[in-house]
Amino acid sequence: MKNEINIGLLGFGVVGGGVAKILQDHQEDLCHKLGVPVKIKRVLVKDLTKKRDVALAPEIFTSELDDVLEDPSIDLIVEVIGGTREAKDAIERSLRAGKGVVTANKDVMAESGLELLKLADENKCDLFFEASVGGGIPLIRTLEDGLASDRISALTGIVNGTTNFILTKMKHENKSYEDALAEATELGFAEADPSADVDGIDAARKMVILASLAFSTDVNLDDVYVRGMKEIKDGDLELAERFGYTVKLAGSAKKDEEGIEVAVEPVLFPNSHPLASVNNEFNAVYVYGDAVGETMFYGPGAGSLPTATSVTGDIVAACRNLMLGVNGSRLHAPQHKKKVKDDSQKFARYFHRILVKDEVGVLTKLTAIYSAHGASLATVVQQPEENVAEADLIFITHQISRQQHLDIMNELKETPEVIGVQSHYRVEGEA
């Protein structure tokens, strides 16, 4: 029986410092729950001379990975260095050395999760990754344990705090995209290079992790349809509000007998929908189960202590397994062979904003295009334009396939009377 558990902490940035702070401040509570103290034995950093906000003994810091991984007294590795190649290598070496791993790395888990989980199974080690999605929201544990007896049919939600913060500022404070992004960067919600966030890649990686767990299959980033928030055009937020909608960059994953579909894109949610009122850096995810019905998980999706709380929760779970001698006892092999739907099998309602020449017969010609592709229209509205020679048409369809939507978009772009397709969105629910 162990009388203490020693941790090797890889990385001491925002999340790593938060983990150290929680372990220090909550040591008495953790010792009560586990029966033994949990101590940080070694910390890997790049710069040994850098001043730290959390005080730890200077001698535990090292710039050499081997000092941590090859220390026989260390029971558990916590990886919060970020990136992919270095982090993946560290996780692999830890697992092969028989040390369990807790990681917050969504990039590594989205790209190599199945491979690493298999390696953990082979070496009878735990690999926990709660903090890779949703910051402080316990989504992974919910899917793996809380809803393990149910059959998940769909997930939809806001899984990127940066873009949600930007859209909130644009909608409620009338800020430009550039000003909202600058504020997000100043507050630490956006990276110096925000492209992974605003292009939807960060959210797509998180949806890969969630969909793989929810549907017990091997979902890859290439399986995700991705459109970033740069697709949101000037005036779209106000226009959506006029029709009773709010624009959110949302992730969705669905499964039925035909297969799975996973997407990240700007979506119109009715203002009455709970996700429409999720603001700033907060995340929220709806989970639809055959037995439980609809459940929603809401909380801070970013920040030092919320993310560190999820990491520490995984540390507690891994420590319990170590104390009970059952670490690495859960198998992670996918249950189902992956079958991804094609665009003709994915159905939704769509919002189309089309700038056209203001001429007689244009509306009739455009509605004929929709009819020719088997699409019926729920809403047709002409918006006034300053230029009297132009008209802004708004079409909202009934349910059509994504293929129908794409075919209509392509034909509209080739139609002489169409100046341009301004924007298009998938529509959730009824406004």
Backbone φ, ψ for residue 238 (5° rounding): -65, -40
Q: Which residues, other chains included, contact 361 with Cβ-Cβ below 8 Å and sequence gap of 6+?
A: none
- The token duo for 144 is 């793996």
Q: Which residue has tokens 């909550």?
A: 26
Active-site option among 206, 254, 255, 346: 206
d(CA 118, CA 422): 46
d(CA 219, CA 340): 9
First to last CA, the chain: 60
Neighbours of 276 (CB within 10 A): 20
DSSP conformation letters of 206-227: HHHHHHHHHHTS---GGGEEE-
> For this structure, is 50 an active site residue?
no
d(CA 70, CA 73): 9
d(CA 292, CA 392): 43
- The token duo for 196 is 């992974």
d(CA 122, CA 114): 12
Return the axis-axis angle of helices 304-324 and 27-34, rounded to nearest 10°: 30
| Residues with catalytic roles | 206
